[in-house]
Structure 1
Amino acid sequence: MPLYIKDDTTAELVAQLAKLRGLTKQAAVRLAVQAELDRTREAIPLRERAAALRTAHALPPPTGKAADKDFFDDLSGTL
């Protein structure tokens, strides 16, 4: 889907970024938008991001079995 930049100031900023980075204007827009998305996501506190991950990928219920040295030795095989 095409993106038309109708604002001359924005178009000039894109052209400046493209020239400085040696990119096409399309790549410059992609780079700038991705950088802003990354900054926005990083602005969310780590505690909230971790909580969302825990909710989306919950741990399985505990088995009640002990994970002792023999258990880990068995996992690693003959290492």
Structure 2
Amino acid sequence: MASLYIKDAETAALVTRLAKRSGVTKTALVHELAAAREAELDAKTPRSSTRDSLEKLWREHPGLLQKTGLEADKAFYDSLNDEDED
């Protein structure tokens, strides 16, 4: 089990007061605050677009784009989905 030691007395007292007022343990309070901060940072972190992610994947694995020369068998793929022929 990991420990968290707060060296600053004012901060430790603040956590204790907030935990008591909130009716939760100090551990639960710190976890809640840390999770909220992480979510805030995640929201600010720019995410790559789907297109950028695909282009990166194709660069790293160029074989995914190679054509096989084979025709797709529509009846076979329809049978995988239990679709009847129209």
**TM-score, structure 1 length as denominator?**
0.57
Q: Which residue of 2 aligns with 1:73?
A: 78
Aligned residues: 76
Partner Cα separation in structure 1 for residue 54 and residue 79 of structure 2: 30
Report how far residue 73 of structure 1 moved.
3.0
Of stretches 63-72 and 14-23 in structure 1, the one that deviates more from structure 2 is 63-72
Counterpart residue identity of residue 62, structure 1: L
Report how far residue 47 of structure 1 moved.
3.0
Unaligned runs of 5+ in 2: none
SS in structure 2 of the partner of residue 46 of structure 1: coil
Q: Which residue of 2 aligns with 1:41?
A: 42
Percent identity reads 34
Work out which of the two has the higher radius of gyration on C-alpha atoms and give 1 or 2. Answer: 2
**TM-score, structure 2 length as denominator?**
0.54
